[in-house]
């Protein structure tokens, strides 16, 4: 099984790229969604979050109190502390999931994550793909998708890594400054190339 890490900033088109790979037969795990699921369901992780951030991290129903945790982590500069709790559990579960998918006969396992390369290149991947787009297009895409204000989008972009500097860790760099169909075509071409290389 081929394991691929896919990353890029907000509005770069990485979700569209990944959805096209899913159409081609890849299994794609979206790390942010998976992490939120673990934070809600993994009892050991939940206890660590409560110990670090307080009982208000969870609602009386047991669900993650996202508003509270976002305030604690982002507004108080404790994002890294939260990541240090979640990341080891996430990585272990991803390895377990990849092993299970390989047994099922999945040929390509991909992880989509904005923070994929924050601590260097993870060992688990055979290939890493970085998706880039110019800032103006990223702002326009997110404004249309999220109905967000330009200033808020720029602030979100500034909080993310500089993905152009991460290209040295990538095997493939996708430039997404064109149309949606052009991005999908690039996704299909790369998927085909990676499978051909490994056939």
Predicted confidence (pLDDT) per residue in 51-110, tens digit: 999 999 999 998 999 889 988 887 788 888 998 999 999 999 999 999 999 999 999 999
What is residue 184's predicted lDDT score, i.e. its pLDDT? 97
What single DSSP character describes residue 105?
Answer: T
Query: With contact defined as beta carbons under 8 Å apart, do 110 and 191 qualify?
Result: no
Task: Count Cα atoms within 13 angstroms, Cβ side, for 100.
Answer: 8
9 falls in which pLDDT band (50, 70, 90)? very high
For the chain, the structural domain boundaries read: 1-26+107-199, 32-105
Greatest pairwise CA separation for the chain in angstroms:
51
CA distances 156 to 10, 41, 106, Å, are 8, 27, 35
The CATH class given to the 1-26+107-199 domain equals: alpha beta
- Strand pairing category for 2-8 and 27-30: unpaired
């Amino acid at each position: 099984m081929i394991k691929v890490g896919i990353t890029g900033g907000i509005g770069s088109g990485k979700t569209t790229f990944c959805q096209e790979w899913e159409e081609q037969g890849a299994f794609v795990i979206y790390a942010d969604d998976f992490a939120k699921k673990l934070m809600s369901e993994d009892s050991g992780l939940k206890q660590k979050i409560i110990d670090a951030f307080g009982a208000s991290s969870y609602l009386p129903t047991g669900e993650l109190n996202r508003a509270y945790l976002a305030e604690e982590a982002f507004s108080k500069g404790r994002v890294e502390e939260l990541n240090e709790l979640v990341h080891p559990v996430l990585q272990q579960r991803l390895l377990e999931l990849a092993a299970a998918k390989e047994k099922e006969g999945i040929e390509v396992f991909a992880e989509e994550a904005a923070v994929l390369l924050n601590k260097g290149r993870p060992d688990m991947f055979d290939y890493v793909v970085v998706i880039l787009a110019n800032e103006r297009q990223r702002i326009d895409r997110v404004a249309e998708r999220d109905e967000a204000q330009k200033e808020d989008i720029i602030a979100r972009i500034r909080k993310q890594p500089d993905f152009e500097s991460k290209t040295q860790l990538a095997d493939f760099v996708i430039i997404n400054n064109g149309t949606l169909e052009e991005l999908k075509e690039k996704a299909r071409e790369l998927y085909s190339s990676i499978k051909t290389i490994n056939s």
